[in-house]
Amino acid sequence: MANPSIPESQTSVESAVAPDESFSDLLSQYDKSHSRKRDDGSKQLVGTVIVVTADSVLLDIGFKSEGILPLAVLQSAGETVKPGDKMPVSVTGRDPEGYYQLTRAKVERPKDWSALEKAFADKATIVGTVTGVIKGGLSVDVGVRAFMPASRSGAHDAAEMEKLVEQEILCRIIKLDVAEEDLVVDRRVVVEEEERSVKERRYSEMKEGDTVSGTVRSLTDYGAFVDLGGVDALLHVSDIAWSRISKPADVLSVGQQIEVKVLKISTEADKRRISVGMKQLLPHPWDAVAGKYNVGERVRGTVTRVAEFGAFVELELGIEGLIHVSEMSWGKKMRSASTLVKPGEVVDAVILGVNTAERRMSLGLKQTLGDPWAEVPERFPVGSAIEGPVVSIMKFGAFVQLAEGVEGMIHISEMSADKRINHPQEVVRLGQLVKAQVLAIDTEKRQLRLSMKQLVPSGLDEYIVEHKEGDVVTGRIVEATGERARVELGEGIHASCRMGTASSASPKKTPTPESSEANNAKPDLSSLGSMLQARWKGGTPAEGAKPDPVQAGQIRKFKITKLDTATKKIELEPA
């Protein structure tokens, strides 16, 4: 069993000692190998450059592990180094990979209380060695035993504090009582000052437009934070690639080394911010669009996002076009594009416009289905009868759907021939199937006029069907002007008559003896009654009597001279 008076670390070392070696010899060798760093009360060493990388310099300092010095320290001082060069350095600690962290500054190690008092008064940085973890913090050897509170260690958790044990650190005395031999040190303030120094140096080194290397430190939904060698920069999700990316984690990972371009550096001292981009190091896809996409061309792409006003379609990496909601359907009037397309859906479209200067492209979805108005004159010629549902009602009329994307308008005056209509809702309702006749077509304006009353037989239509030219009919004169008169043949049935062709009254005959005798004879009352009855029924004057002058209200006999079924006009002459 191990001796409890001997530390466990010492026991493990002794167990590894060869039979011909003693622990005291090994301890002596360790002191000799590390004595160089304590010469003259300092930790200043001379290191030899082994390798120069993109962001650091690796040096041989005579220890079992190499030391590492940030390249930015030399660049800020205007120095250039190459393998084999020598330079004075000081050890400030160890990194997680086991390399010694170096600095160009000379760091003193106090030898006695007087040196500690001077360092306390000057607020100087000193070297100490962490000897162990104790309650509330760490025990540190700075020539005498000192205490470092956990909150001032610069460690984030207990695991990091454990890693500091046996490491040399830079710290500052924050409490000193020689009489009580009470000494408290602070490492965190030194670490924070060093970080601020590195940040200020990096801010001064970088300028907008520079291309720099960085390491992805963390990822969020809106972007990635990139470590540029001591300072963090924001890589927004929109600046990762020319194509649209949902979230940075799809293309980046923590710890990944990337090349970025510095886009913006904040000038406010209290809010140092750097914005970087990856896509700016690549050519813009729109630079090669000229001549590649032409108006009228049919293309295929993937819907990347949908808004109320339309949908964005990616045709290739970084090339998007917009399908406005008005260009999605010939017939459906949609309030939102999401009712027709969804993100991730592959669609065909027709290019309606290309603006390379503004990097915009307008697309049409409905154009891939063909224009329904191109076939309207053949499908629905003027004079043909159609049937369709009422899709909308306005004060002036109603719109009827003839086909997908084709609507016709029935004006309120074309809804009924029998009565006056004040509002279309008196005759039709939404969704009602109605029959109508095509009156006119304008394909350029995409307008089509319809009539319902043209398909409803009227009294005039029936009258025209039941009569023919040459028929003698009875009518009432409703208006007489000069040689023409307007004649009513029935309710709502009117005709035009040229009165100048009326036959003159029967000429008077020369009296003869027989006629004289007849005149002297008694009149035949029965013949007179027949004559009056005929005049009453036929409206013709008795033989030898003068015709009555033409005036409104007269009932006469007329002969039909013309029946025009197309224009629905009737012309007469007195019979």
Residue that finishes a domain, picked among 192, 227, 242: 192
In a domain, 460, yes or no: no
Write down the mean pLDDT value for the chain.
Answer: 79
Task: Based on the fold, state whether residues 568 and 472 are members of the same structural domain.
Answer: yes
The predicted pLDDT at position 543 comes to: 52
Task: Based on the fold, state whether residues 226 and 179 are members of the same structural domain.
Answer: no
In a domain, 197, yes or no: no
Residue that finishes a domain, picked among 339, 366, 393: 366
The predicted pLDDT at position 464 comes to: 84
In a domain, 519, yes or no: no
Q: Which domain holds residue 437?
A: 372-455
Coil/strand/helix, residue 421: coil
Task: Count up the domains in the chain and report the number.
Answer: 7
Task: Based on the fold, state whether residues 472 and 565 are members of the same structural domain.
Answer: yes
In a domain, 444, yes or no: yes
**Secondary structure of 360-415 in HEC code, one letter for each residue:** EEEEECHHHHCCHHHHHHHHCCCCCEEEEEEEEECCCEEEEEEECCEEEEEEHHHC
**Secondary structure of 107-147 in HEC code, one letter for each residue:** CECCCCHHHHHHHHHHCCEEEEEEEEEECCEEEEECCCEEE
Give the pair of three-digit tokens for residue 164. 């500091």
In a domain, 211, yes or no: yes
In a domain, 521, yes or no: no
Amino acid at 276: V
Task: Based on the fold, state whether residues 41 and 93 are members of the same structural domain.
Answer: yes
Give the H/E segment covering residue 264. Answer: strand 257-265
* Residue ranges of the chain with per-residue pLDDT less than 70: 1-44, 76-78, 105-109, 111, 268-270, 331-333, 457-458, 500-548
The predicted pLDDT at position 79 comes to: 78
Give the H/E segment covering residue 218. Answer: strand 211-219
Task: Based on the fold, state whether residues 338 and 378 are members of the same structural domain.
Answer: no
The predicted pLDDT at position 9 comes to: 36
**Secondary structure of 314-326 in HEC code, one letter for each residue:** EEECCEEEEEEHH
The predicted pLDDT at position 106 comes to: 63
The predicted pLDDT at position 181 comes to: 82
The predicted pLDDT at position 93 comes to: 72
Task: Based on the fold, state whether residues 376 and 432 are members of the same structural domain.
Answer: yes
The predicted pLDDT at position 328 comes to: 84
How confident is the model over 248-287, as pLDDT tens digits? 998 899 999 999 999 998 876 567 788 999 998 988 888 8
The predicted pLDDT at position 537 comes to: 42
The CA distance from 550 to 485, in Å, is 9
In a domain, 517, yes or no: no
Coil/strand/helix, residue 35: helix
Task: Based on the fold, state whether residues 387 and 424 are members of the same structural domain.
Answer: yes
Task: Based on the fold, state whether residues 277 and 303 are members of the same structural domain.
Answer: no
Q: Where residue 84 sits, what CATH number does that domain have? A: 2.40.50.140
In a domain, 387, yes or no: yes
Residue that finishes a domain, picked among 229, 249, 281: 281
The predicted pLDDT at position 224 comes to: 92
How confident is the model over 141-200, as pLDDT tens digits? 888 889 999 999 988 888 888 888 888 888 899 999 888 888 999 999 988 888 777 777
> Which residue, among 59, 81, 57, has the nearest Cα to 70 in the 3D structure?
57
Task: Based on the fold, state whether residues 421 and 485 are members of the same structural domain.
Answer: no
Which CA distances in Å does 398 have to 12, 151, 329, 390, 420? Answer: 99, 80, 21, 7, 16
Largest CA distance in the chain: 192
Give the pair of three-digit tokens for residue 424. 């279309």
The predicted pLDDT at position 466 comes to: 86
Which CA distances in Å does 52 have to 68, 101, 231, 259, 260? Answer: 10, 15, 21, 19, 21
Task: Based on the fold, state whether residues 125 and 89 are members of the same structural domain.
Answer: no
- Cβ neighbours for 334, distance < 8 A, ≥ 6 positions apart: 325, 328, 340
To the question of pTM greater than 0.75 for the whole model, the response is no
Task: Based on the fold, state whether residues 473 and 565 are members of the same structural domain.
Answer: yes
Task: Based on the fold, state whether residues 303 and 274 are members of the same structural domain.
Answer: no
